[in-house]
Structure formats: C-alpha cells, structure tokens
Amino acid sequence: MLSRLQLISIFYTAALLTFTIYWANYYETYSGHTKGEELFTALVVFLFLTFFYFLVLQFSVNRNNWALALFLPIINAIITFLITVVVLWLGSFDGNPKEDILIFGIAYTLLSSLVGLVLWGKT
C-alpha cells in the first residue's frame, strides 16, 4: 500500500510530465515571438505547481519545513537549468525549444519529486 506522501508525489510527477510533453509539442500555439518565452512560461508553471506540491506535502505530512517549501522550488530551478545546459552541451543538441523544454521539464520534475520524497519522508 502506498503512503500519502507517495501518492501525492506520483500525482505531482504525472501532472508535470504530462504538461512537459504537451508544452514541448504545442508551445508555438500559445507563446509569442520572443526567444526564450516558451521556456519561461514552462518555468512559471513548474514553479507554481512545485510550490503547491511542497505546501500540500507540508500540510499532509505535518512537518515544519517552511523554509524548504518556499525556497526549494527556486533552488531546484537553478540546479535544473545547470543540468539542462550540461546535457545540451554533452549531448551535442542544437538547443531548439522542444529539446530545452523536454530536458528541463523532465529533470525538474524528477528532482523536485525526489526532493519531496526524501525531505518529507524522514521521520
């Protein structure tokens, strides 16, 4: 039987991965003509959902980690940006928006889910 923490994390991961795949394939329908706008829009959605995810964990697990809940989404975004740059560089990708969104989205989702499971899973 899965714990409440695991169920919340699975739902969060599924929601963000679904958004990532959708946004990577249909971003040009919604974004304007400014370079980088598609990744910025994705980042705003990721941060909003991750703040919500950490707050739900905070209330459902009854742990007082308010500093973690408020600062970790931003720290995860910075770390994920660096991971994305390294993957694009090592993989010799050309850095088109679809690749950027997929790499950033998958890395951010997995990092945030793992952080949530590890930090709020401690007893």
Residue range 31-80, pLDDT digits in tens: 666 777 888 889 999 999 999 999 888 888 776 778 878 899 999 999 99
Report whether pLDDT(123) > 50: no
Look up tokens 């990721």; give the residue. 46
CA distances 34 to 30, 38, 44, 95, Å, are 12, 8, 16, 16
Buried/exposed code over 24-38 (b: 16+ C-beta within 10 A; e: otherwise): beebeeebeeeeeeb
Encode pLDDT of 10-33 as tens digits. Answer: 999 999 999 999 999 988 887 666
Contact, 12 vs 53, CB < 8 A? yes
Tokens of 5: 């923490």
Look up tokens 């660096």; give the residue. 82
CA–CA separation, 54 and 60 (whole Å): 10
